[in-house]
Amino acid sequence: MERIDLGRGIKVAPVCLGAMNFGTTTDKKSSYAVLDAYIERGGNFIDTSNNYAHWAGTGDESETLLGEYLKERKNRDKLVIATKVGFDRHGEGAGLKKEQIEYWIDESLRKLGCDYIDIYYAHTDDANTPLEETMSAFDKLVRKGKVKMLGGSNYDTWRFERANNVARDINGYPFEIMQQRYAYLYAKPECAPKYAFNEYVTRERLRYLAANNVPLVAYSCLARGGFENPERLPADLIAGERLEFARNMAKEKGVSTSALIVAYYANVYRIGGPRIIPLFSSSSPEHFIENLGGLDIALTDEELAALKNA
């Protein structure tokens, strides 16, 4: 499996494994099986958060399970671990104040059993805390060696840019990677997101990312299985001709639509798009590997352009 060079000595697989439900709705045995299957096929990029999955537990389960896995498998140095800070977990933790960032990085390191985090995301924008305070606190984590790279998740594009301008003004480390909700299908404009800043990626944001060479880690990118099963398609996405076009191309190639979409995400940079790293998971190793197989699908530049313009 190829590696994408993100800088800061970090090279990641072109697909990121999401560990959101590990330790809660996905039990330990199944979580380990998916992790093993991903790594055996060359994967190395694992995503979690300090609040996963608090709606099904305490919010400590995912990081704790990953910490146990890393200890048992003794493979920390071969993996790129990303975690986050800033979202609510049972009425605590929301915000990006200096003391919150300093507290939760140590909690994440403790649960993961790590000396450092490869990629540390601001999980969502905190409009009530000055960006100077937030970016200064993140910068200090990098300088102390607790974090290698910073990222922003669930930010409006202009706020992401402003945060980086602030980082440069203080000679600090900027956000160098973005994680945002993204689907091949377009979002219905009348549907507001559940949380203020977790909007779907738009064409404007894709142009911003490409122009600034910022990789996008795309969550919710397989539309909850809706590419295969229309009943699972989120109500805030437009199906229509774009979905039909992708399904027809997948049928012609003898692959699933989800796998085709993974191939599109992983290769759209070849025709001027940003680097997109799809983030997805499953409780079943077989189902996860089926979607991971999208990395083996060959798409011409003409096919990529046709999918983009459908």
**Residues 6+ away with beta carbon under 8 Å from 9:** 148
Residue of 52, 184, 200, 208 with catalytic role: 52
- Phi, psi at 237, each rounded to 5°: -110, 145
Q: Are 294 and 267 in contact (CB under 8 A)?
A: no
Exposed e or buried b for every residue in 79-118, given b needs 16+ CB within 10 A? bbbbbbbbbebeeebbbbbeebbeebbeebbebbebebbb
- List the one residue out of 124, 118, 128 whose CA is nearest residue 97: 128
Structure tokens at 50: 């300090």
Residue 193: CB atoms within 10 A of its CB come to: 13
10-12 and 4-7 strand pairing: antiparallel
Structure tokens at 181: 């909700």
The verdict on whether 52 is a catalytic residue reads yes
Q: Is the dihedral of CA 27, 150, 166, 144 positive or negative?
A: positive
Among all residues, which ones are annotated catalytic? 52
